[in-house]
């Protein structure tokens, strides 16, 4: 036993000594020498892009469309829920079964209800299930919309600078250093299937940020041009993260330590989806038609709608000769008939758009190098491109035309100064330019199609288009 113990101790000592010697033979490798510091791509913290949110309980916002039995009972656009104290006591004194029903009804009523303006479809199917409308997100989104948080070189912008609520949420003035595309109106933007003139993104959440790279800063001489042309605003998250009030609000609404691309996009999209405008003269004419169960619109229905007080004020156009009151219904109806004949193929449905993209033979549609991809075709993936998409831009909604000029996708001086509503009709009447990619709807017998309307008929068409102007956009509810 003693010999075995001594032998074990001896072996242990030998192993210990050899281990130490091996460690000395292989010392730690020295740090590699770098002749010049490497230029690295700017690292962006993960939190600037997306993180799992834990949104706090909030008051939901729901749309109530004209097809709902609840719609006539809502008196205003923005309808707040009953007072919380009254809601909590709504079941007091009731039997158990009735109390449960009252509690369920209370939970349904505890939401802000938006009365969708007359004539507009229900926007609810266009709200992503992952970003439901809530009051706190709406309030934060509205603040972001008017905040100078978008940086371009030495300049800062707010969304409202280009999408001005006083001019139909679009931009009427021409900035010679601005983008080459007209600013699209945000009125009823919730209904768009895709966004921008070329449809390059699908959801409203993507209009401000689309990838982690959007947050990278670039050289100052490129930032302004890139931001205005591509709608990419690097540094937005960092700008908001330096403002304690916004940091606290994002924490309160989304449960995040600081603003992120994801939460900024969600809040802004929530606000944008509530900017609605309907209840136009045309919508009131259609309501009369439905009440009479008439299969088609008639002159008598136009006459009845025009009997309303001040209903013809919005029809006055400085470029249309004065029309006597007794002649106005017939002229509007004539414009409607002309619209059905010449325009409804692309401008159809309650929003007066087919949500498609067309080359309409406008001067700026293909005014680029011969081999350049322009319009929708540039945004379509390889394998899905089509010749008809060259120089093709979105079919804009015709609602609220008098408040959303200038027209066409181009932002040139010609467009900004020349294309009034009457001039647009004149263009389609006699100015459509031929081209290899002209839309089929703009062709007749293989040639560029011209409407061939008389001056009086053009004026009647303008009068009808003016009936599509709705009420002031409901962007200022007071929750």
**H/E segment holding residue 448:** strand 447-448
pLDDT of residue 371: 55
Percent of the chain with pLDDT over 90: 51
Backbone angles phi and psi of 113, in degrees to 5: -110, 125
Distances (CA, A) of 309 to 304, 371, 465: 11, 56, 20
- Other C-beta atoms lying within 10 Å of the C-beta of residue 349: 12
pLDDT of residue 235: 85
Is the pLDDT at 315 greater than 60? The verdict is: yes
Helix axes 261-272, 135-146, angle to 10 degrees: 100
pLDDT of residue 314: 77
Q: How far is CA 387 from the centre of its chain?
A: 27
What would the pLDDT profile of 20-35 be if each residue is shown by its tens digit?
443 333 344 444 444 4
Percent of the chain with pLDDT over 70: 73
Cα–Cα distance measured from residue 309 to residue 284, given in angstroms and rounded to the nearest whole number: 13
Cα–Cα distance measured from residue 151 to residue 154, given in angstroms and rounded to the nearest whole number: 7
What would the pLDDT profile of 261-311 be if each residue is shown by its tens digit?
999 999 999 999 999 999 999 999 999 999 999 999 999 999 999 987 667
What would the pLDDT profile of 401-440 be if each residue is shown by its tens digit?
988 888 888 866 555 556 789 999 999 999 888 888 899 9
Q: Which two tokens stand for residue 162?
A: 């280009």
Q: How confident is the model at residue 7 (pLDDT cuts 50, 70, 90)?
A: very low
- Mean pLDDT value of segment 46-64: 73
Q: Give the up-direction half-sphere exposure of residue 229: CA atoms within 13 A in the CB hemisphere.
A: 8
pLDDT of residue 50: 62
In this structure, of 145-159, 313-327, 411-425, 432-446, the range with the lowest mean pLDDT score is 411-425
Is the pLDDT at 5 greater than 80? The verdict is: no
Is the pLDDT at 93 greater than 80? The verdict is: no
What would the pLDDT profile of 376-400 be if each residue is shown by its tens digit?
999 999 999 999 998 899 999 999 9
What would the pLDDT profile of 95-108 be if each residue is shown by its tens digit?
444 443 444 444 55
Q: Which residue has the higher pLDDT, 281 or 46?
A: 281
How far does the chain reach from its first CA to its final CA, in angstroms? 91
Is the distance from CB of 258 to CB of 274 less than 8 angstroms? no
What would the pLDDT profile of 166-203 be if each residue is shown by its tens digit?
889 998 765 555 667 888 999 999 999 999 999 999 99
167 SS3 class: helix
**H/E segment holding residue 264:** helix 261-272
Is the distance from CB of 344 to CB of 352 less than 8 angstroms? no
Is the pLDDT at 64 greater than 60? The verdict is: yes
What would the pLDDT profile of 210-224 be if each residue is shown by its tens digit?
888 778 766 566 667
Cα–Cα distance measured from residue 460 to residue 466, given in angstroms and rounded to the nearest whole number: 10
Highest mean pLDDT: which range of 147-156, 239-248, 310-319? 239-248
Is the pLDDT at 132 greater than 90? The verdict is: yes
pLDDT of residue 229: 77
pLDDT of residue 478: 43
In the predicted model, what is the mean pLDDT of the chain? 81
- Residue 138, exposed/middle/buried by CB under 10 A (0-12, 13-18, 19+)? buried
Highest mean pLDDT: which range of 47-61, 129-143, 401-415? 129-143
């Amino acid at each position: 036993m003693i010999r075995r113990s001594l032998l074990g101790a001896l072996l242990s000592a030998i192993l210990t000594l050899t281990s130490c010697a091996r460690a000395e033979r292989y010392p730690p490798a020295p740090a590699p020498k770098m002749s010049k510091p490497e230029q690295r791509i700017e690292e962006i913290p993960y939190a600037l892009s997306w993180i799992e949110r834990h949104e706090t309980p909030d008051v939901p916002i729901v749309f109530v469309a004209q097809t709902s039995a609840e719609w006539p009972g809502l008196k205003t656009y923005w309808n707040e829920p009953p007072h919380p104290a009254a809601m909590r006591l709504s079941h007091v004194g009731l039997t158990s079964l009735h109390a449960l029903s009252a509690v369920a009804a209370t939970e349904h009523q505890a939401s802000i209800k938006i009365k969708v303006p007359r004539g507009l479809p229900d926007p609810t199917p266009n709200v992503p299930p992952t970003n439901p409308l809530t009051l706190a997100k709406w309030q934060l989104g509205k603040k972001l919309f008017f905040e100078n948080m978008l940086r371009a070189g030495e300049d800062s912008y707010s969304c409202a600078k280009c999408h001005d609520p006083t001019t139909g949420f679009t931009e009427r003035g021409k900035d010679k250093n601005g983008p080459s595309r007209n600013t699209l109106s945000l009125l009823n933007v919730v209904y768009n299937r895709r966004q921008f003139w070329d449809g390059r993104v699908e959801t409203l959440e993507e209009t401000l940020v689309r990838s982690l790279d959007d947050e990278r800063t670039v050289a100052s001489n490129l930032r302004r041009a890139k931001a205005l042309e591509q709608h990419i605003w690097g540094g937005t998250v960092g700008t908001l993260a330096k403002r304690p009030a916004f940091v606290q609000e994002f924490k309160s609404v989304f449960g995040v330590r600081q603003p992120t691309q994801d939460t900024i996009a969600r809040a802004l999209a929530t606000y944008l989806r509530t900017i609605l405008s309907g209840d136009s003269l045309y919508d009131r004419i259609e309501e009369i038609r439905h009440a009479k169960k008439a299969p088609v619109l008639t002159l008598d229905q136009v006459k009845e709608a025009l009997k309303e007080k001040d209903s013809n004020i919005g029809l006055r156009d400085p470029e249309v000769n004065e029309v006597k009151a007794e002649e106005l219904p017939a002229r509007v109806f004539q414009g409607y008939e002309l619209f059905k004949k010449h325009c409804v193929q692309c401008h159809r449905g309650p929003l007066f758009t087919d949500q498609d993209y067309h080359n309409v033979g406008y001067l700026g549609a293909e005014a680029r190098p011969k081999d350049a991809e322009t319009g929708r075709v540039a945004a379509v993936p390889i394998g899905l491109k089509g010749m008809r998409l060259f120089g093709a831009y979105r079919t804009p909604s015709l609602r609220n035309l008098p408040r959303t000029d200038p027209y066409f996708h181009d932002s040139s001086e010609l467009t900004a100064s020349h294309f009034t509503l009457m001039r647009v009709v004149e263009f389609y009447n006699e100015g459509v330019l031929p081209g290899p990619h002209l839309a089929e709807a703009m062709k007749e017998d293989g040639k560029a199609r011209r409407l061939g309307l008389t001056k009086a008929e053009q004026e009647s068409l303008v009068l009808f288009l003016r009936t599509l102007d709705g009420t002031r956009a409901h962007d200022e509810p007071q929750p």
